[in-house]
Structure 1
Amino acid sequence: MDAIFALQQKRLLRVDEAARILNVSRWTVYRWVEAGRLGGTRIGAGSLRIFSETVAALIDHHCVGVPVAAVVPQGSQALEGTTGLRSRQHLDSGRVRSRQQAAL
């Protein structure tokens, strides 16, 4: 949890930093920015920087078994406003099959 707090203190991350934190490739970070899952900005002649708040919000969005209050300190701006994350509630539950059903 200290890592999340430290992440929120740093405003902008390089693409490789965001990729390392999220345990994904740099290209996945670029795709997620294009898709709106992560927020970012271009600096100078095109160097992409990722907003650390959106990285923290993405981690929090996928956190399992831990209450939000335990992950994000009070007063944090990580969950305020639009983060570019999309809700998974719109997915069609009919498309999801269990492993047993898939094996049949």
Structure 2
Amino acid sequence: MSSCSGGSGVLAVAGEIDLTSSEQLAVAVRDVVTRGDIDRITLDLDQLTFLDSMGIHALMDVKSWASEHGVVLRVSNPHNMVHRVLAITGVLTELMDEPQRSSVQQADF
């Protein structure tokens, strides 16, 4: 856990979330939630560099699991490819309070 205050916690996620690492995310979120004393957890994706379909599935699974345990799970700071993958798959708005636009502008041709 990067930080915890007032019933909220922030968990920094770095590297990749894919088939080989999705269980690590689930374990980390479950550990934080089962410690108690929080009603909200934010996954800070600022250092996340890769997210595939298994990663998206893992994010949605931990969101659902947290909700079943009375904890709201949201993500923050997705950027570049991670932001684009979340937006294209339609889960960005479900995972964020207020969807942020990527700082990278793209031109349509």
> Quick check: TM above 0.5?
no
Q: Indicate the structure with greater helix content.
A: 1
TM-score of the aligned structures, taking structure 1 as reference length: 0.30
State the structure with more CA Rg: 1
Task: Give the number of the structure with larger relative contact order, counting CA–CA contacts within 8 Å between residues 6 or more apart.
Answer: 1
